[in-house]
Structure 1
Amino acid sequence: MPNEPAPLTGLALFGGVLCLAMANFLAILDTTIANVSVSNIAGSLGTSTSQGTYVITSYAVAEAISVPLTGWLSRRFGSVRVFVTCLIMFGVFSLLCGMATSMTMLVACRVFLGLSGGPMMPLSQTLMIRIFPKDKSHAAIGIWSMTTLVAPIMGPILGGVLCDQFSWPYIFYFKVPLAILAGLACWKIIAKFETKTVKASIDKMGLLLLVVWVGALQIMLDEGKDHDWFESTRITVLAIIALIGFISFLIWELTERNPVVDLRVFRHRGFSASMLTLSLGFGAFFGITVITPLWLQIYMGYTATESGYATATMGIIAVFIAPAIAAAVSKFDPRPFVFFGVLWLGLWTWLRAGNNMDMTFWQISMPMFYQGIGMPLFFVPLTAIALGCVKPAEMDSAAGLFNFIRTLSGAFATSMVNTAWENETTYVHSELSGLTDRVGVAAQQMQAGGMSHDQTLNSLNWMLQQQSSMIATNQIFMWIAAIFAVGAFAIWLSPKPQHAVDPGASH
């Protein structure tokens, strides 16, 4: 186009790339940075660990809801203006998260943080492609994709170090200057790439129904375990609202001319199959990344830093082999890659189900290191399948749904896995209680060693709780391994993609 601004060069290009990559890095980093700090946050704010997971789910749900709005926001206000505003607001709400004095305040700020972070991911990619010369667009996607892979790895490490060396608010504080400075610099550097604005209408009813059913379902999953599930009127009402809201959302979006979420792309069998694999595979993957640091910190005595290092080993190999996988997917059928990748993740999860309380750091982290091979084999080819099975005009809608389902799967999995883990630990504890030290030999020996009666009971109970959590953790890993297996075989429901798609397009 003759009136399209010239691509950036030299120092301006470097600055633009740095700021856009920083925005994508921060948005994705926030999905994992709090994982290793949940127990610290919960203890500091006087809530249970299960309630502490709201810090993760609130951000993920808000981010999932805001992603489909990116297109409308860009048309209505301009892509650069929306991007810069979201980036600066991301910094502001990060500051407010660190200043939170209660779990309610922190969760509320995390919701607004997620709403700000959602549009940053797709806009950072499209803007990066625009500022690069056309013949170097693949370099832009490569740089952007690297931040996508590095951010989840750095999240647990940064979260652990900042939490241990300073305190949990610093996992939010450190992002404030980065986000605000990057936002101001972006406005200075890439303002000329602003898109034209139109007074586009938004599907208000579709958006309302989306917020209602997603919000009701997430609250139900988060609070169900604390209210004895459907024995509680509150949980029952939330379930009814979620069900009616979801059905209404489906009907409305399938009949609306300009839906906020274009569900019509599900008519393509390949896209539907890939979304089934995505929801099962990513939900299972996120589940093990949430439960692992909780188990390590609460029952294995790990610090947030140590659990962060252990968890982050899963992503090391992924960074290095992702480019090779992307190149191979463009030449071969991507379905075998996805099948092997998801099955590989499931196999190592099954092997990790043999963990015990005497394992060393390396015995825990090395299986996760090898498990990471499956990550790029899963995510990169699945993108090619999802977008390669839809019409070119539908790729934007398909990409939006891809991100929406991915983020929502992580949020739902966090709640369900945490609930199942706590319930299973309680059940195993009650079963083992009647079988432990039945004749009192261990108790007598402990008291003979100088411990009081109460100290003896507390010590025995804690050892029993540790073993109960270990058994529960291994059982959860077995279930998750089965979910991975189902997700792997589900990809064969998809036909071979009709056309090649750049693996970075879904982001």
Structure 2
Amino acid sequence: MSSDSAATNPPAAAAPAPAAAGFAPPNRALTTLGLTLASFMQVLDMTIANVSLPTIAGNLGGSSNQATWVITSFAVSNAIALPLTGYFTRRFGERKLFVWATMAFVIASLLCGLATSMNLLVGARALQGFVAGPMYPVTQALLLSVYPPNKRGQALALLAMVTVVAPIAGPILGGWITDNYSWEWIFFINVPIGVFAAMVVGAQLKGRPERTEKPRMDYVGLFTLVLGVGALQTLLDLGNEQDWFHSTEIVVLAVISVIALAVFVIWELTDKDPIVDLRLFRHRNFRAGTIAMVAAYSAFFSVGLMVPLWLQRNLGYTPIWAGFATAPIGILPVILTPFVGLYAQRFDLRWVASLAFVFMAATCFMRSEFNTLVDFRDIALVQLFQGFGVALFFMPVLTILLSDLEPHEIAGGSGLATFVRTLGGSFAASITTWYWNERTTVHYAHLTEAVQSTQPSDVALVGQLGGGNTTAGLERLSQMIAQQANQIGFNEIFHILGWLFIFVIAVVWFAKPPFTAKGGPGAAAGGH
């Protein structure tokens, strides 16, 4: 059956079993709170430790390179676990997987806070990243299953808001906790939140009918996935630091990654019981929605990475003030999310997503006109304006990519889409940083050539800058040229990002309605 016909006329097998159709949690609001709290906690931990790395390294006697592995170990193990979500849900069921993963996340967080060396902390973060992998996709599947069809858009919009707000709140909250208490508490705060979420969801969804199997373990798929993704994520994290392919280590990682992932894809597409179901891409909407999500999220991730770096590197902002300047991006998503969830599905979601990308592109083009004299208000206003696009971005695209999956494919599809999106973000971070540095170097050379040290006007300028001291004046001039070169490179990248968002609009229109997510087991619950 083609994906188009499946979307238009869902087969009978897609309908929940009679027992599942009658299931509803005793308290849907409490269930939603537990699910979203766990997801917020997990997404928050992807960024909360970033600003605390110097403090952590100092307290545990680690180097700056070791400190970066606090982030890298989480990212690598998280990327490996994400595509395994489908296998885990088939084996254990969505409710059990959520409760076990959340409690394991609590234990890993406790181990992070109790770590007495950098090696122990990196190991605990790797465990934390792995068990966090299934949490977001399973939360998505469970949320869809406990809401009736006409309210699933609101559920996805709520989860989308968490996805946007948590990474923004992470650095600010992490900096505040580290400054006012101690770095250990950025991990300890997960303990009560995680225990509460696991207990609430476990109790509320007790007795929820679930489809479980005992699939054969695909050892070849698992081995090539771990090897390929681990090597690729490590390559992306270390690329800029190691000067990319000028480093033997990076070349070796690239070769390992390409070979392992090529074998993985071929094996998974031909194996009868693959550990990651790549055949989900046969669905038209899943394919188009995932491509749109990856491209748009990569551009969005690049914006979130570059703006704080630019504020600190070019304009001299402190980390906390860079956080305040970028934070307005979360205001409109928080305010508008309930309305997007309530009303967006009254329209063609392709138009809603297109409008989001128009706003995102517009803000990128605005930043491409920034200069070194731009003030805090203008920066914050552009961030606020972008928030309107963000509010309209995640829910429509998530709904589109899940719309033609069968109920039992939701968790696996969400995990696969999140995995590809995460890799897209990693690629974007590495490529953007590298390209910014490259363009800065090029523009520095051009600007330096334009300054003729023998010209009387230039000699006078150097003297003024150095207060009569030529050496000091030349050093000051070099700093000014470097700042301008950095700014030009920044502007160029945002011009490119703006056109990338325009491109994503075309991708979204390859999807075909209807765009109603079917939900997992118990999808009809509460629909009466």
Give TM-score scaled by structure 2 length: 0.80
Aligned counterpart in structure 2 of residue 469 of structure 1, from 471, 477, 486: 486
**Could you tell me how far apart the structure 2 residues matched to 1:134 and 1:281 are?**
26
CA distance, structure 1, for counterparts of residue 116 and residue 462 of structure 2: 42
Query: How has the CA–CA distance of structure 1 residues 130 and 480 changed in structure 2, closer, same or farther, with 3 Å as cutoff?
Result: closer
Q: Distance in 2 between matches of 1:350 and 1:421?
A: 16
Aligned-partner Cα distance in 2 for 1:252–1:204: 11
| Amino acid paired to 2:464 | Q
Report the equivalent of 1:444.
463
1:62 aligns with 2:77: yes
1:340 aligns with 2:355: yes
Give secondary structure in 2 for the equivalent of 1:364.
Answer: helix
Q: Distance in 2 between matches of 1:123 and 1:87?
A: 11
Q: Which residue of 2 aligns with 1:351?
A: 366
Matched letter for residue 64 of structure 2: T
Distance 2:72 2:182 in 1: 21
For 2:178 and 2:440, locate their aligned partners in 1 and report how far apart those are by CA, in whole Å.
Answer: 27
Distance 2:44 2:465 in 1: 47
Q: Which residue of 1 aligns with 2:310?
A: 295
Mapped partners of 2:216, 2:403: distance in 1: 29
The AA in structure 2 aligned to 1:205 is V
1:88 equivalent to 2:107? Answer: no
The correspondence of residues 10-89 of structure 1 with structure 2, limited to 5 A, is: 16-34=31-49, 46-47=63-64, 56=71, 58-77=73-92, 79-89=94-104
Deviation at 1:475, TM superposition (A): 1.8
Q: 1:26 to 1:66 in 2, by over 3 A?
A: same
SS state of the match for residue 488, structure 1? helix
Select 1:286's aligned residue among 292, 297, 301: 301
Do the aligned partners of residues 474 and 97 (structure 1) sit closer, same or farther apart at CA in structure 2, a change above 3 Å counting? farther
Return the offset for 1:68. Answer: 2.8
Determine the C-alpha separation between the residues in 2 that align with 1:69 and 1:357: 46
Of the three residues 484, 488, 494, the one matched with 2:505 is: 488
- Structure 1 stretch 38-47 or stretch 433-442: which is displaced more? 38-47
Q: CA deviation at 1:502?
A: 6.5
Match of 1:364 among 348, 354, 379: 379
Matching residue within 276, 280, 283 for 1:261: 276
Q: With CA pairs under 8 Å and 6+ residues apart, which has the higher RCO, 1 or 2?
A: 2
Question: Which residue of 1 is the match for residue 260 of structure 2?
Answer: 245
Give yes or no for contact 1:57–1:412 (8 Å, CA) kept in 2. no
Q: Which moved more, 1:61-70 or 1:366-375?
A: 61-70
Question: CA contact under 8 A between 1:330 and 1:501: conserved in structure 2?
Answer: no
Between Structure 1 and Structure 2, how many residues are aligned? 498
- CA RMSD in angstroms comes to 3.8
**1-structure distance, mates of 2:404, 2:20:** 33
Cα distance between partner residues in 2 of 1:473 and 1:503: 42
Of 58-67 and 331-340, deviating more is 58-67
Residue of 491, 494, 497 corresponding to 2:513: 497
Shift of 1:379: 1.8
Matched with 2:7 is none
Retained in 2: the 8 A contact 1:57–1:414?
Answer: no
For residue 200 of structure 1, give the secondary structure of its aligned residue in structure 2: coil
Q: 5+ residue gaps in structure 2? A: 1-17, 522-528
Residue of structure 2 equivalent to 1:161: 176
Q: How many Å apart are 1:111 and its aligned residue? A: 2.9
2:128 aligned partner: 113
Alpha-carbon distance between aligned partners in 2 of 1:391 and 1:82, rounded to the nearest angstrom: 19
Q: Structure 1's 394 and 139: CA in aligned 2 closer, same or farther, altered over 3 A?
A: closer
Determine if the alignment matches structure 1 residue 330 to structure 2 residue 345: yes
Counterparts of 1:157-236 in structure 2, within 5 Å, are 157-166=172-181, 170-180=185-195, 182-183=197-198, 199-236=214-251
Give the drift of 1:300: 2.2
Report the AA paired with residue 484 of structure 2.
Q
User: Which AA in structure 2 matches 1:478?
Assistant: H
Name the structure 2 match of 1:305: 320
**8 Å Cα contact 1:81/1:194 also seen in 2:** no
Offset at 1:284? 0.6
Please identify, of 134-143 and 219-228, the stretch whose mean Cα deviation from structure 2 is larger: 134-143
Asked if structure 2 preserves the Cα contact closer than 8 Å seen for 1:203 and 1:260, the reply is yes
1:25–1:148 CA contact under 8 A, matched in 2: yes
Contact in 2 for aligned 1:34/1:171 (Cα 8 Å): yes
Q: CA deviation at 1:193?
A: 5.3
The range that moved more, 123-132 or 228-237, is 123-132
Output the TM-score relative to the length of structure 1: 0.83
**Residue 424 and residue 141 in structure 1: after superposition, are their counterparts in 2 closer, same or farther (change >3 A)?**
closer
Q: Distance in 2 between matches of 1:135 and 1:329?
A: 11
Partner Cα distance (1:426, 1:169) in 2 = 39
CA contact (8 A) 2:48 2:174 kept: yes
One-letter amino acid of the counterpart of residue 99, structure 2: V
The whole-number CA distance in structure 1 between the counterparts of 2:425 and 2:180 is: 28
| Distance verdict in 2 for CA 1:299–1:42, change over 3 Å | farther
Asked if the contact 1:36/1:293 (under 8 Å) is kept, the reply is no
Q: By how many angstroms is 1:187 displaced?
A: 5.5
Q: Return the alpha-carbon distance in structure 2 between the equivalents of residues 134 and 331 of structure 1.
A: 13
Q: Deviations over 1:447-471 (max 9, x none)?
A: 446x794x55554444333333222
In structure 2, how many angstroms separate the alpha carbons of the residues matched to 1:158 and 1:444? 45
- Write out per-residue CA displacement over residues 433-490 of structure 1, whole angstroms, 9 at most, x where no aligned residue: 44457344344335446x794x555544443333332222222212222222222222
